[in-house]
Amino acid sequence: MKYAFLLLVLFSVISPLAAQSLPPLRTVEGTAVVSQNDPAARIEVPSGAVYVGAVRFVLFEAADCEIHLFVEADASKRIKRLYWVQFEAYLPEQPTLLYETSATYSPLEMSSLPFYQRARFGQSSDVPRPGSDADEAYALLKRNGYTLPAETVNVTYKHFFDGMRKELLLLVLEDMSLSGVTFAQLLKDQKLQPAWEPVAEQLKARSSKVFTIHPQAPASK
């Protein structure tokens, strides 16, 4: 589907290869991801969230990608809200690649840092592209016994730095039912419906308060 969750996250245009597993560079303290570099910051999510885990891999031979996931879920581990913290940096072997945004993203400031945001919705039944960041994140959730709701809404935030060679990506995903709408109300005959606009604005308003970012002095390399 055009608005499916698998399309919500940046995918490389390089042909997919099996992901190369690497040890995470960042640590977690409670509900905060602590990054010593790229960027050096403490990134906090709501205190009621549960840490799922982390995965770090080479994304399509193009970028070092590290993902940390937190969830709010029910007793059966069905996710109500997902908090996604992702660090990406193009490899030295890819000197010409740069991150970029598009007209679908709008600028905003979070914790005094410039970000770009985009709200979207989708169905979790769609299968992510093999080897993608979404594929790795889905697998991490599955390994820990968590399932996504059938229909979701989300907001992606992107902060670029180091000459557009590095990116901090934050994502909030919610069960669509929490917004009081269904997928069929938002997309009909492949056409976006007017009901989406107020849902998107409310979603962005509350999601922009989810992450608290405290810049830190970078560690010596």
- pLDDT tens-digit profile of 15-31? 333 445 899 999 999 99
Residue 80 · residue 74 · CB < 8 Å: yes
The whole-number pLDDT of residue 21 equals 81
User: Is pLDDT of 74 > 50?
Assistant: yes
Q: What are the tens digits of pLDDT across the range 151-169?
A: 999 999 999 999 999 999 9
Residue 104 · residue 118 · CB < 8 Å: yes
Alpha carbons 74 and 190: distance in angstroms, whole number: 32
Local structure of 11: helix, strand or coil? coil
Dmax over Cα atoms in the chain, in whole Å? 54
Which structure tokens are listed for 88?
Answer: 């990406």
Q: How confident is the model at residue 2 (pLDDT cuts 50, 70, 90)?
A: very low
The whole-number pLDDT of residue 14 equals 34
Which structure tokens are listed for 8?
Answer: 């919500």
Q: What are the tens digits of pLDDT across the range 108-159?
A: 999 999 999 999 999 999 889 999 999 999 999 999 999 999 999 999 999 9
pTM of the model: 0.90
Q: What are the tens digits of pLDDT across the range 58-73?
A: 999 999 999 999 999 9
Burial class (CB in 10 A: 0-12, 13-18, 19+), 202: middle
Alpha carbons 82 and 73: distance in angstroms, whole number: 9
The whole-number pLDDT of residue 166 equals 98
The whole-number pLDDT of residue 218 equals 87
The whole-number pLDDT of residue 7 equals 34
Q: Between these two residues, 194 and 11, which has the higher pLDDT value?
A: 194
Q: E-assigned strands of 45-78? A: 50-59, 63-73
The whole-number pLDDT of residue 221 equals 61
